[in-house]
Structure 1
Amino acid sequence: MNTVMTRVSPCFIADYGLICALGEGKTAVAAALSRWQESGISPLDGECQPLSDGRLTPVGRVKGALPSVPQALSAYDSRNNRLLLAALAQIRPGLDALMARLAQDRIAIVLGTSTSGIAEAERAVAAWQGGEGIPAGFDYRQQELGSPSDFLARHLALTGPAYTLSTACSSSARAFISGQRLLATGLADAVIVGGVDSLCGLTLNGFDSLESLSLSRCRPFGAERCGINIGEGAALFLLTRERAVLALLGAGESSDAWHVSAPHPEGLGAEAAMRMALRQGGVTPGELDYINLHGTATRLNDEMESLALARLFGAAQSAPASSSKMLTGHTLGAAGAIEAAICCLLLAREMAPPRQGEAQDPALAPIRLARGDVPARPLARVLSNSFAFGGNNVSLLLGRVPAREEGASHE
């Protein structure tokens, strides 16, 4: 197992925006989280998509119209990039203020994705196979994995570093680490980090072929769990060195290199990433207020993640833990960023962590799952896990800056 530990300068979150199956924007998503606590009804209860053989699987689809891609950038027109524009609109005021005082080459962009515009490519191939020819609006750049960051840099006329990471389900969590390092090394004065993914047949049928897809709402850590639901969405963050209410306090990463698609059975890399994030942030396990679990609801992932947490915390785990994928679906390359945005909402609005919808499988290592209890104190430090194919593990430590250090409100 390979791990990396780097000293970094403080990294603050000036603003963030998100769109997913729970809604568009902070207010809509916060309201949906509150409804879940009260009703237990997930967006995954009402939307299904057919697989190649006609069976239906629940998906976390974004509802409503999305912004249009400008005509001048029509070669990049994909649902993926339209989701990105919806998240961008939410941070645009703060970004415009930064762009007014920073040079174009001092703002970097690091995004994560796993699908990019694959859905558009699927439709183009189907049209060609049906004798209609390639649709006039299709361009190969829509499906390139580098499309999100390239598109955003061109759209904003930014000339700083701009690149996309694709490490499967840890992609956009890793974008935070890259952004953190760009600031620490002085290569940028501000970084737009985040991720985006959109629903497509490739991922739905691909996970089904791996026997990892559930045909009912996913049940993270439950005895009846049988696989993931897939979702879509985007989240963007403005990272700077300027003090703000929220901060990336630490980050950990590791590589198991155990198996191309299965996690290390004992969760050794997952544990190493969590320990590294806590160490970098100078936080002990007992000082955490919430843990956003990767929690895919596959048999192997939940088994190894519970083992890793049990070793890290022992019987004294005080921080409640849950997986938000039962509400958004697994948004793959965007999951790390979307779940970090949900954690920021909990920190900023003093909300109770999403309650776990299922009783824990007694065969799993015991961990403390969130049950909807009102926290004894406002959340101050949360850990968010993202684990991916190939044993690529990332853990982000997010938190509120102490009152004596607070700057302007991020809301």
Structure 2
Amino acid sequence: MGRRRPRTGDDWKLLAQACTALLERLPELVDEHLRELHEYEPAYGRIVPYDQHWQEAHEAMRIGIEMISAPRDSPRRDLEHADEMGRRRAEQGMPLELVVHAYRHAGHLVWDALIEGAAARPGELRALTQAATMVWQAVDTQADTASEAYRATELELRRRTDEQLAALLDELLGDRPQAAEVVARAAAGLDLPEHGRYAVVVLRQDRREVPEPFHRRVRGAGVRFLWRMRAHCEIGVASLADGTDLDALSDLLQGRCPGPGGISPVVTGLAELGRARRLAELALRTCPPDSHEIVRLDRRMPGALVVSQPEMAGLLVHDVLGGLLELDPADRAVLLETLDVWLDCEGSAGRAAGRLYCHRNTVFNRLRRLEQLTSRSLSRPRDLTEMTLALDAFRLTSAG
């Protein structure tokens, strides 16, 4: 209630008499208080049942009036009550401005009633005038205490809600199939359609190089993201609007995230997010260690097959590239790079030569040497397939 003055002398007795007289009118004041609050904002009545609100207001105003004339060292029951009410109003969802308005309004109502009651008694009026600063400090402190409690409770409720939503998202992204009721609960909690178009994104994060989570930079029309932070990656669920495809999602991510990352195919419901997450992780595994790309699984199928079967990938490397493995590492790297660039250039030696800064005959010579070392012909489709898969396996698995 602010800094108290010593409670002694006739002024204190007159102040106590005024407060005691006012307590007899308290039910009438509470009725007026609630009527004017509801006229000011009907939401008061929608948020708190009238009978409950009346009892709470009655107790708050009674404690406040009693504290005006209480001894200096009295326990601060008004602030204890304000703290409790601030927390309760936050839990009920009442806007903070309405909580503060109710305290201010009650303070004005009590003060006006005290002045009115003392108008015919000069001694009481003088005592009230001397106590005015203390009374309004009390009202301000009560409102501040309720506000602090409200904000603390609101923060705790938000944290709990965030944890609950994160748990729902984790369930959907998990490995186990989800029951229909779990999916329905997650859809309601996350405000997502149970049946809709979704893709999952997995972004590998190097915290030494990335000062903030990727998702803070990702915004785009037609896509709504929900993100989960993990120890070494971020997992994003992308809800795709009609007309938004994987090309648009990939372009959005490539422009804002350093990668590497993997994007799953589109799935058609929340129940499929666990499978989509596994496919996005598989796409990510097709990125070489030094890659900064964000890749789509539907465009990395051969590499995905290789990394999903590491034992077979090792056998493929040794069977197809066995002769290359015996070369000097620098020599081997030149031949494999030539094959990689030639494949990227769709079998054009001229374009590959431009990329490699060499003559096209050099490209032909290197490719012929590869054919000799692998006992395979790049002109035969089956051999070409084996060479391509072996190249992916060499670069993406421990065999390389």
Which TM-score applies when normalising by structure 1? Answer: 0.21
User: Which one has a larger percent helix, Structure 1 or Structure 2?
Assistant: 2
- Structure with greater contact order relative to length (CA < 8 Å, sep ≥ 6): 1
Which TM-score applies when normalising by structure 2? Answer: 0.21
Give the structure with higher Rg (CA). 2
User: Which one has a larger percent strand, Structure 1 or Structure 2?
Assistant: 1
